[in-house]
Every structure is written in structure tokens, then in C-alpha cells.
Copies of this chain bind each other. A is one copy, B any other.
Amino acid sequence: MKNVKLTLEYDGSNYHGWQSQNNSLAVQDVVYKAVFKLTGENVTINGSSRTDAGVHAYGLCANFITNSSIPPERFSFAMNSVLPSDIVVVKSEEVSLDFHARFNSKGKKYRYMIYNSTFPSALLRERACHEVRNLDESKMQEAAMKFLGTHDFSSFMAAGSVVKSPVRTIHSVEVTRDGNIINFEVLGNGFLYNMVRIMAGTLIEVGYGRIKVAEVENIILSKDRKRAGKTAPAHGLYLVKVYY
């Protein structure tokens, strides 16, 4: 009996997110089927994160317990031979039997990509959020710095979510521009439902000057979802890395 950890890259465009649901295809279903095809086993695939429909990943992690004779580090090769081309196992490895991709996660890094130009991009149409008017990325960086540290992020949680605690710690933030592309990267110990997309939506408002940098602190303190910006579209979001 072995515990296999997978690191997955996927294009979320064709899936209803990571988590299996009724009547829609999730990345988890496809990964499960690939393992079943190779091992004949009905394994439980534990994912590190429940990404929404359309969200992409460079490094979502998952794990499953197997009795298969396939060496853990060879599962990547075996699975990539049966997976569709929009889901790739970047790495597979053996981990201790008590490892759980979700519960053992110590931190996550997300990226939100904005394509800032008069017209949308044909090549990035499913990879970045399109914003028409010129965004001030230096103001966005200043505002992002306000997220740093440990806060009650209730203002940045989808309305109606139920959590034990809305307190999270943000370790680093970075807003960079390369031509028409603005990337917001954020690393934290964990994220509430829609938290990065609401952060991105708020930074977009700051970039347009509709929310002042100084106001972001008050938005956090208010614990009021209505004070923050809109939830930015899913297709601009990437789960970059999970830390253990």
C-alpha cells in the first residue's frame, strides 16, 4: 500500500472546476478515471484545492492510496498516456501514508492575470481577464501590500460561505506589468472561497482609481463583502503552487 502524490497542470476551460459534482465534468473525475484505467482500483483522489470552473492550475496537488505495482514516480508517465492533453501530471512521487493533499497544505501561491488593452486578446482569451482602460499597476501593488499579514478576510469571501475562521495570513504579494499583461501573485497560508478573485477585483478598482489605496485597509476592517470589488472572472486565475 502506497500513498502517491501528484502535481497537476491543467487548462480549466473545459471543466467545472476540480471537485466532482453531479452532471458536469470536473478535473477530479478525469484524474480518477485515469488512475482506475491504470490500476483497476476505486481510489479516492484528495485534491489540495477546490478550484472553480474555468480556473487553471500549474501545480494543484492531489494524493491517493494504491496497491498498484506501478512505481509512484512512474505514475506521471502512465497517467499522461491516458489523460486528455488539457490535464498533465507534472510529477508523481511517494509520500508517507498519512499525507493528505488538502489537510497537510501549509500554503498556496495563486496568480491572477489581467490583459489590459482596448481590445481583448485572441491568444489569451481563456487565460486572462480583459480590462479595457489603463490600469495603474503601481497603485495596485501599493494596495496589494495592505493584504500582507494576518487579517480577518471576511470582506474577501464569497457571500454566504461558511468557514470555521475567516482569518488568513498573506506572506507575499506582487503586481507586475509586462506590456499589456498585469500579473497579481499572492502567497498565503490558505484562502477563503473566491478570496483571490475578490482581491483581484478590488485591485482592478484601485487600478482604475475607483477605490483609493488607503481605503483597502478599511475594506478589510469592515468585514463587509459589499465593500470590496467584484469577483474577477475565473479564467484569469491560476493555482501556481501548493506548499507542504
Contact = CB atoms under 8 A, between A and B. Distances in A.
Interface of A: 9-11, 56, 58, 76, 80, 85-90, 118-123, 125, 127
Contacts of A122: 9-11, 85-88
Given A9-B123, A88-B122, 12 more contacts: A9-B122, A11-B125, A58-B123, A76-B119, A80-B120, A85-B120, A85-B125, A86-B122, A88-B119, A89-B119, A90-B119, A123-B127
B121 A9 contact: yes
A152 B80 CA distance: 43
Q: Which of A85, A89, A123 has the most CB of B within 10 A?
A: A123
A110 to B, nearest CB: 15
Closest 10 CB pairs of A and B: A88-B122, A9-B122, A85-B125, A10-B122, A11-B122, A86-B122, A11-B123, A88-B119, A80-B119, A87-B122
A11 B125 CA distance: 9
